[in-house]
Amino acid sequence: MSTISLRLNDKDDALIRKYAELHNVDLSTFIRQAVIEKIEDEFDLTLFDKVWDEEQNQERISHEDLKKELGL
């Protein structure tokens, strides 16, 4: 297991420690979860942007037209 050192000013340190305490999680776990969530969010957004760009060129039909095609 590795160790990462993080430099914070007093205000940020107090804020992060209080937030972790309020959520009943130790500081290391909170910081790890926050960093992993940030990476996952960015990955999700990148994937969404890629799919969105690919889908823009696709033909679309309305919900009503789809129901008619399916005989509903």
Domain ranges of the chain: 10-69
CB 36 within 8 A of CB 28: no
d(CA 71, CA 32): 52
Q: Using one digit for the tens of pLDDT, what is the confidence trace for 17-50?
A: 999 999 999 999 999 999 999 999 999 999 999 9
Distance CA 36, CA 39 (A): 5
Q: Is the full-model pTM beyond 0.75?
A: no
Please state, in angstroms and as integers, the Cα–Cα distance from residue 2 to each residue in 44, 50, 66, following that order: 27, 34, 54
Q: How confident is the model at residue 55 (pLDDT cuts 50, 70, 90)?
A: confident
- Which residue type is seen at 68? K
Phi first, then psi, for residue 8 (nearest 5°) are -135, 150
